[in-house]
Structure 1
Amino acid sequence: MGNVGSEVVRILQDHAADLAARVGAPLVLRGVAVRDLSKDRGIDADLLTTDVHGLVARDDVDLVVEVLGGIEPARELILSALNAGKSVVTANKALLAEYTGELAASAERHRADLYFEAAVAGAIPVVRPLMQSLAGDRVDRVIGIVNGTTNFILSAMDETGADYAETLAEAGRLGYAEADPTADVEGYDAAAKAAILASLAFHTRVTSADVHREGISSITADDLATAKAFDCTVKLLALCERVVEDGTERISVRVYPALLPLSHPLARVSGAFNAVVVEAEAAGQLMFYGQGAGGGPTASAVMGDLVMAARNKFFGGRGPGESTYAELPIAPMGDTPTRYHVNMQVEDRAGVLSAVAAEFAKNGVSISTVRQEGASDCARLVVVTHRAKESALAATVAALSDLDIVGAVTSVLRLEGTSE
């Protein structure tokens, strides 16, 4: 009965007749597990219990909705339900990013459904399109803004010019950031969602450990200002894509802040909103946009799954299960190609640009554009590259840092969303 659970109960009660018509039978709420029975929940107190294990095990329960969060006891409870042939609807991204295989195997053995639309991007329907609508297509890339807290912070920094610490504090005051924002700002939340999206898109089991993760705490107001000079903005992106090299196909899954051209559809996603762009061979580019968190939006996704699971239970069918037939290997981050935006302080004298360009060339990194701003004896040099492997760029940055003419490499950001 937190933000999401309370909304689920409200929808079940307020729209009972409509839901019964959609399912083919009434959805009867048998009970709700809570931590504190003394608190007024606005529903019949006889429905409340602190015995969550007993509630899941009851013979008169067909479907279980899990909105506890965390790994345990959620994992144990979901397995208990599935092992008893009870279908489960969950919003638990952290659990799914680690244990989807175990849960899906139990669902398959016991002919139960495991639905989790609410685990990624709140009310935005992206899980079901990947599992069903695009089941006959080949998905090549999924790129998205899947964390509202970080998108709010970066949007505010871009609009106001404020620094990261100041904007994070404001996000906390407004309720967009948790008291401990680590999971959001360091990319853990987005990485869990990226693992789920990649698993669905590429028919390969991907866990959080497979996701390269970087957060936004190192992003500065200067990074945003420089991005504007290149007609870009900065977003924390979840990227899942096929990487084909020498005929070998692998997948790359990563989360990090990156520059996006203002012409890209994700660049205009501001505030706490989420959006996911799916690129498929036949369908082309599809964009899903909306509220990615909150009690109402997440409950909407839960209820969509609940109706599907209930309908399957009533008519004797099952929804699609886990698909991991492709078993594609995960590409190491060092082998992942993208473009880069390298910002450095250099001496403002003749020959500097050629010396810097030589280091890029030595490591096989091709330069696209260079922007230089002079200031007395020191200048700022911004280099934008063509696509290059992460390992080649890292070697280049290390070599640049050793040059006497380079005072410091102040930031390195990837550049995504371009055709080059």
Structure 2
Amino acid sequence: MPQNSGRVKAVNLGGWLVTEGWIKPSLFDGIPNKDFLDGTGLQFKSVTTGKYLAAELGGGSIIVANRTSASGWETFKLWRINETTFNFRVFNKDFVGLDVNGNGTQVVAVSKTPGSSETFEIIRKPDDLRRVRIKAPNGFFLQARSEVLVTADYARSTEWGNNDPSVFVITLSGKLEGEFQVTNGYGPKKAPQVMWEHWNTFIVEDDFHFISTNGLNAVRIPVGWWIASDPTPPHPYVGGSLQALDKAFLWAQKYGLKVIIDLHAAPGSQNGFEHSASRDGSQEWGQTDENIQQTVHVIDFLTSRYAKSPNLYAVELINEPFSPGASLQNVTKFYKAGYAAVRKHSSTAYVVLSNRLGPMEPRELFPLAKDFKRSVIDVHYYNLFVSTFDNMTVQQNIDFIYTNRSQQLNYVTTSNGPLTFVGTRSTPRFVSDT
């Protein structure tokens, strides 16, 4: 398509090959102990001290039981081993464990990687699931001996009363429902069955026919980085999404639709959101050259596989890197390498560069894009997550888009600049200023 020759009207096939729980909540229904998935934040209140457990200094020190209210330092994010066994990650990303340098019973948060000393079992009271005991790897239960001393040396059984220092009342503080949570939640035996059923039924050939006969001419398909390792991706991901993407290209060709491949989930998570398959809300993409090269490999794999398809229209190198965690320097480094990977296999596919979310200058990618042929800037404008719009009528929301959003779009759409990709959950499109 020539640089200024009209528009592409596309639908985003979100929630298909990259899980987003809000799109299909029922996908999680069969997971045992499903409120304890990876990334769920737990806050533990001792029934004897009446205070919350906390990682002193946010981590790197001892665990105490002296907080009257719970916030970041008092929130422990789960890494799920199975339905009852977990690692606890604290604010500064250390893991809770036993002090192996002391008497082996004091509870601390000093390890950067979890091992056997950082693995705990959560036992819930059958008739009151908010009451729990935490069994340490030494076989004893955690107890709040005092407000400043939490140890793993309680051996007695319990009646779950308020005089038992090994009993805690939990509050759930935030959760994630993405690809990591659903596959790790079901486990290696059940997850393949669940995911294959989902991929084969959530989007089908009839959907492509419907799209093509209702005024749209393209599909944007989000994929995860593990697709490049199909059919045996790393744990806990499930093989088979590549086969589904292959079918999508066949359907697109049959019904005359263009395909925009979107790397929605990059290794390490580029934004910490569930739709980028973050395990616990951490954003760790782009922090090393090795990680960036791993991401480039995914782009190379996808482009080489589909470059000869007449329906490959564009490759979006990454979706919504979040500022400031994803620095402009690292994003630029990746975009240069990702663009080269696409061009190694295709001279015609558009290369889509997603603007960063968070604090940034909307034109910050212009200097980079001017050196890229057939490049597109992806900008996302959300009314969905701002409460201001909740009290607006449908017409008021539409009017806001025509006024405020049009001004924002005009700012990034220039006569001598790259095309603009307006990415929403339902109606992304390419536009030019002509």
TM-score category (smaller protein): under 0.3
Name whichever structure is richer in helix by fraction: 1
**TM-score of the superposed pair, with normalisation by structure 2:** 0.24
**TM-score of the superposed pair, with normalisation by structure 1:** 0.25
